[in-house]
Amino acid sequence: MIEVNHLTKSFDGKVILEDISAKFNQGQTNLIIGASGTGKSVLLKNLVGLIAPDSGEVLFDGRNFTSADKDLKTDIRREIGMLFQGGALFDSKNVEQNIMFPLDVLTDMTKEEKLERVNYCLDRVGMTDVNKKMPSEISGGMKKRVGIARAIVNHSKYLFCDEPNSGLDPQTSIRIDNLIKEITEELNITTIVVTHDMNSVMEIGDNIIFLHKGHKLWEGNNETIFDGDCTELQDFIFANKLMRAVKKNRG
C-alpha cells in the first residue's frame, strides 16, 4: 500500500496540490483522475520522488519515503516500475535491450538470467519473437506492452502508469488497461494510474481519487462513481455525449 498524508505543493507561490491525503491499495489498480492541468502529474511526480513536497509525506508499505535517508530512498526506488506516456523506450536499443536495461543497471544477474527474465516478461505481456525489433518497427500498443514488461522486469512492488492510453485507439486502450489490471492482481503489486480517460475509469477503476484544481474532491470506485454528489466530478464524467447517454439509460 502507498499512503499520502496531507501533501501540499506550490510552484512560484502558486498552490498546485493542497492537503492531499489518499491510500492506494495493494493488488488493485488505483486511479488518479481529473481534468487537464489539475495536478495529476505533479502528484505522481511527488509519489515517485521526482519532486519533493512542500509538506506532507508519502509512505510505501509504512516506510516514510519523504523523510527517508539516501539508502532507504534507493531501496524504495528500486521497487518502483514506471510506464511513461508513449512508452519512453530507448530508440537506439532493441526490445530485448530496452526491457533488460533495469536489470543491467540495478542487478548483477548473469546474461542468461537476464535473458530468461526478459523473455518471461515479454511472454507475460503477450509478445513473442520481437526481441530484436527496434521501437520504430513496432506499433504504439506494442510499445506500451514493452514499457510494461520493462516496468515489472526487476520484480517491482509498485507500478506507476502515466496516461497509459495516450495515443492508442479505444480497443487497444482497453487491452492495455486490462493487461495492467491482470498483472497488478497476479503479482499483487500496488498500481497507480494517472488518467483522464473515462473508459479506463470504468474498466479498471478499483479505487479512484478525483482531483480538481489541486484538491481531492472525491474518492470511490467504478461502481460508486455515478452516485457521487460531487458536482465537479459529475461535470468531469459527463463531459462527453456518450457518457451523458449512459447516464440517461441508467435513469
Residues that bind ligand ATP (CB under 6 A): 11, 16, 34, 36-42, 196
Task: Write down the least CB distance from residue 63 to ligand ATP, Å.
Answer: 25
Task: Write down the least CB distance from residue 147 to ligand ATP, Å.
Answer: 17
- Where do we find the cell 484538491? 215
Closer residue to ligand ATP (CB): 20 or 127? 20
Query: Which amino acid is residue 38, in one-letter code?
Result: T
Task: Write down the least CB distance from residue 118 to ligand ATP, Å.
Answer: 31
Query: Which amino acid is residue 68, in one-letter code?
Result: A
Closer residue to ligand ATP (CB): 143 or 196? 196
Residue 146 backbone phi and psi in degrees, to 5: -65, -40
**CA 161/CA 177 separation, integer angstroms:** 10
Closer residue to ligand ATP (CB): 35 or 115? 35
**CA 227/CA 239 separation, integer angstroms:** 16
Task: Write down the least CB distance from residue 166 to ligand ATP, Å.
Answer: 9
The closest of 218, 223, 221, 249 to 234, measured between CA atoms, is 218
* Lookup: cell for 121: 516478461
Residue 171 backbone phi and psi in degrees, to 5: -70, -45
Closer residue to ligand ATP (CB): 38 or 173? 38
Task: Write down the least CB distance from residue 4 to ligand ATP, Å.
Answer: 14
Query: Which amino acid is residue 203, in one-letter code?
Result: E
Closer residue to ligand ATP (CB): 104 or 235? 235
Task: Write down the least CB distance from residue 37 to ligand ATP, Å.
Answer: 5
Closer residue to ligand ATP (CB): 149 or 209? 209
Which three-class secondary structure state does DSSP give residue 160? strand
Q: At 39, which helix (H) or strand (E)?
A: none
